Structure 1
Amino acid sequence: MNGYPARAVVDLAAIRGNVASLVEHAPTAQVMAVVKADAYGHGLVPSACAAVEGGATWLGVAQVPEALALRAAGVTAPRVLTWLYAPGAPLREAVEADVDVSVAAPWALDEVVAAARAAGRTARVHLEVDTGLGRNGLTPAQLDDLLPTALRADAEGAAELVGLWSHLAFADEPAHPTVHAQAAVFASAVRKVESAGARLEVRHLANSAATLTAPDLHWDLVRPGIAVYGLSPVPQLGGPDAYGLVPAMTVEAELATVKPVPAGHGVSYAHQYVTPRSTVLGVVPLGYADGIPRHVSGTQDVPGAPVLVGGRRTAIAGRVCMDQVVLDLGPAAADVAGDRVELFGTGADGGPTAQDWADVAGTISYEIVTRIGARVPRVHVDTAADAAALERDEVGQHA
């Protein structure tokens, strides 16, 4: 939206570099970059293309329409897997677009096979096994019941059984006993499926956390999500730097209004923040309608989420509103309307990060970046390409 006074700047060079680092972390496996949820809020197609340039040979999405959007945009080289849908999903279109489809329930296999027959081509199927997460996926007993049907569909050419996969409940706590308990259940499922005659192309279990901390769980393919975008899935063990990652998103805005107020002045709804001295307030035109959590509101005793203004840190003062937040800029502030405010970014400039915001909100960095609203424009930049172009210009000037 032209003229919107805020933006989420996404550095595609960071995404490329993050995937390259993940490839190094998993040298024995292929890398699937998970780009579900509009690439965790970073922009589906540009992020997917950057991930492929960084070395991803697979892309993963939750919803079928996300997979179809990638194909429609011309993202045809990598394999794409989709894994979450309800009855009646556009599976025929997915099969026709050469999208791999996960099967997590008996009815899903029936619909995938029907879609393949309607499309006149073989569906590529991954069976998802619930090894202990208790979410989507076939229980081991359901796998026993469904496997003969899946193998018949494979033999008939309707559905090629190319993958088996699962998802971990406690990967962000690598020492948790469930991690290797689930791994044992998964290994048993792999043996069962392969002993029954399936010729699996990929077996995959590791998400971002397991990709970085559990090389014994890499199997044939790893599925990093949040790490692709430069955020640590295990912040208690190490930040992005510890894993060769760089946050790709910086959310910034312009101050809308700046004004002096006396001591004792209430700020925002319910006056849960009252100015302790004469000071200057600044309004940032972003609020919970843009994905700013109300949980990062500031009170008299507890500062809200940190922000960077004019090279110095301050914090949200008072409640987050639908379209705006207020900052206490300090009594000596010389900021003016239109000055840049960085809500979160890489941290390299001394500013806050998405993890800093997550800590204030009592959540995870995944939620902070994915909830940035659709009305906030995504501006895709490529700092590596810009740097290369600048270097070429400088060489040309001195030639």
Structure 2
Amino acid sequence: MTRPELRLDGNVLRANIAAVQRRIAPSELMIVVKDDAYGHGLPWAVETAIESGVTWIGSFDVRSAIDVRRVAGGGARIFAWVTSTDAEIDEALLHDVDLGIGTADYLDRVIARATAIEVRARVHLKIDSGLHRNGILPEDWADAVATARAAEAAGVLELVGIWSHIAEASDAEDDEAQAVFLEAVRQVGDTGAAPTFLHLTASAASWWRPELRGTLSRIGAFCYGVRSADGPELDGIRPVATLTASVVDVVDGDAVVAIGSFDGIPSTLAGVAVGTPQGARELRRIDQTRSVVAGWPGATVGDVVRVFGAGEWGESSATTLAERIDTVGEEILTRLTSRVRRVVV
């Protein structure tokens, strides 16, 4: 049976990266490649980003960071921010990965491992600016900074960055988070040289709140053309990926296509518009490995249907599909299974 394909357009990814860089300048882009580059394939996304001049890559975890290093070589800066095991810390340090530090215990362990293997760790301390997604509490910040500075003086650590997450729930909450962040930066500056890399914002805040940007902006979904749920379209940004399936049968005028819930398409998406050679048609039913699309004149076996993409054939975007089932566009992409082939076009 013909397998569905996630068709990846390198020209679109490069254009999106350029649009993001123009939008956030002079802040520098850190393209995020977590969850296998949001389901697009980490090696391809990293290669394309490096070709586009991106120098910072956010990997989330150490395992992904090592994969990024294998693809990117020695030129890129790689940032991994999830709290890791001692063995993972060793791997990160030996592969020249910057580490995001959100707890005093993690800071102590990174210092211990850097001392043990005689490698200088590059760290970004995270202040909890109110989201409570990891991060050192403001009342504990001075002690953590003192610990980092002592390790820096001992030659086992370099404090290169300060970072945090914000809720992006309201402008007022984000303004409060920025105030906490800037106070943390000020306190670090009082103890020595201020770190070069300051990063508070992810995709949405980086795009719409320039006053919140630091010297780095961590952006994932927007680079891949995935807008925020319930958010407006993005100027100059298009979906990188198009999910396609072939017609394998025509029954009573309807087209049967080779994609289903086993490929990661939620059955609750029945009723959405998909793209056909004759424009938008209803996706009437989603079964396990096949689905039924309302037919069009001349529909025949071998025709291609676009389940989601840029809308050129009338299909919905990944985020439009996500909004229908109260989730985000990234989930529509990342839940696709290995039955879906990734094809670079």
Shorter-normalised TM-score: what interval?
over 0.9
Q: CA deviation at 1:286?
A: 2.0
Residue of structure 1 equivalent to 2:233 = 239
Q: CA deviation at 1:74?
A: 4.1
Report the secondary structure of 2:219's partner residue.
coil
> Residue 249 of structure 2 aligns to which amino acid in structure 1?
T
Which of 249, 255, 268 pairs up with 1:295?
A: 268
> Residue 180 of structure 1 aligns to which amino acid in structure 2?
D
Which of 231, 244, 250 pairs up with 2:242?
A: 250
Residues 1:15 and 1:119: Cα distance change in structure 2 (over 3 Å): farther
Q: CA deviation at 1:39?
A: 0.7
Residue of structure 1 equivalent to 2:342 = 378
In structure 2, what is the Cα distance between the partners aligned to 1:190 and 1:377?
Answer: 45
Q: CA deviation at 1:33?
A: 0.6
Residues 1:84 and 1:374: Cα distance change in structure 2 (over 3 Å): farther
Report the secondary structure of 1:92's partner residue.
helix
Check conservation: 2:46, 2:72, Cα contact below 8 A: no
TM-score, length basis structure 1 = 0.81
Gaps in structure 2 of 5+ consecutive residues: none
Which of 262, 277, 297 pairs up with 1:310?
A: 277
> Residue 197 of structure 1 aligns to which amino acid in structure 2?
G
Check conservation: 2:276, 2:313, Cα contact below 8 A: no
Which of 343, 347, 354 pairs up with 2:318?
A: 354
In structure 1, what is the Cα distance between the partners aligned to 2:193 and 2:2?
Answer: 53
In structure 1, what is the Cα distance between the partners aligned to 2:283 and 2:147?
Answer: 57
Check conservation: 2:47, 2:71, Cα contact below 8 A: no
Which of 323, 332, 352 pairs up with 2:289?
A: 323
Residue of structure 1 equivalent to 2:3 = 5
In structure 2, what is the Cα distance between the partners aligned to 1:233 and 1:75?
Answer: 32
Check conservation: 2:275, 2:311, Cα contact below 8 A: no
> Residue 209 of structure 2 aligns to which amino acid in structure 1?
A
In structure 1, what is the Cα distance between the partners aligned to 2:278 and 2:73?
Answer: 40
Which of 191, 216, 225 pairs up with 1:221?
A: 216
Q: Once structures 1 and 2 are overlaid, which stretch shifts more, 250-259 or 307-316? A: 307-316
Residues 1:133 and 1:324: Cα distance change in structure 2 (over 3 Å): farther
The two structures, once aligned, show a CA RMSD in angstroms of: 1.9
Check conservation: 2:62, 2:92, Cα contact below 8 A: yes
Residue of structure 2 equivalent to 1:201 = 196
Note the alpha carbon deviations across 1:154-197, whole angstroms, 9 max, x for none.
Answer: 11111111111011111xx5x53111111111111111122122
In structure 1, what is the Cα distance between the partners aligned to 2:260 and 2:293?
Answer: 13
**Structure 2 residue 135 is matched with structure 1 residue 137:** yes
> Residue 260 of structure 2 aligns to which amino acid in structure 1?
G
Report the secondary structure of 1:73's partner residue.
helix
Q: CA deviation at 1:235?
A: 5.0
> Residue 195 of structure 1 aligns to which amino acid in structure 2?
D
In structure 1, what is the Cα distance between the partners aligned to 2:85 and 2:219?
Answer: 27
In structure 1, what is the Cα distance between the partners aligned to 2:338 and 2:100?
Answer: 28
Paired residues in the alignment total 345
Check conservation: 1:22, 1:211, Cα contact below 8 A: no
TM-score, length basis structure 2 = 0.93
Note the alpha carbon deviations across 1:332-379, whole angstroms, 9 max, x for none.
Answer: 643222211100111234332212212322222222222222331111
> Residue 176 of structure 1 aligns to which amino acid in structure 2?
D
In structure 2, what is the Cα distance between the partners aligned to 1:235 and 1:206?
Answer: 19
What are the equivalent positions in structure 2 for 1:98-177 lying under 5 Å apart? Answer: 98-170=96-168, 175-177=170-172
Note the alpha carbon deviations across 1:32-75, whole angstroms, 9 max, x for none.
Answer: 01111111111112112212333322000111110101112343
In structure 2, what is the Cα distance between the partners aligned to 1:86 and 1:286?
Answer: 37
In structure 1, what is the Cα distance between the partners aligned to 2:175 and 2:338?
Answer: 39
Gaps in structure 1 of 5+ consecutive residues: 261-279, 298-303, 382-399
Residue of structure 2 equivalent to 1:269 = none
In structure 2, what is the Cα distance between the partners aligned to 1:127 and 1:253?
Answer: 45
Larger Rg: 1
Check conservation: 1:35, 1:225, Cα contact below 8 A: yes
Report the secondary structure of 1:15's partner residue.
helix
In structure 2, what is the Cα distance between the partners aligned to 1:141 and 1:103?
Answer: 16
In structure 1, what is the Cα distance between the partners aligned to 2:73 and 2:36?
Answer: 15
Residue of structure 2 equivalent to 1:65 = 63
Check conservation: 1:151, 1:198, Cα contact below 8 A: no
The 4+ residue runs of structure 1 with deviation greater than 4 A are none
In structure 1, what is the Cα distance between the partners aligned to 2:84 and 2:336?
Answer: 26
> Residue 275 of structure 2 aligns to which amino acid in structure 1?
L
Q: CA deviation at 1:30?
A: 1.2
Check conservation: 1:23, 1:55, Cα contact below 8 A: no
Check conservation: 1:8, 1:376, Cα contact below 8 A: yes
Residue of structure 2 equivalent to 1:211 = 206
> Residue 35 of structure 2 aligns to which amino acid in structure 1?
A
Note the alpha carbon deviations across 1:78-132, whole angstroms, 9 max, x for none.
Answer: 2000011343451111111111011111221122122222332101101112211
**Structure 2 residue 16 is matched with structure 1 residue 24:** no
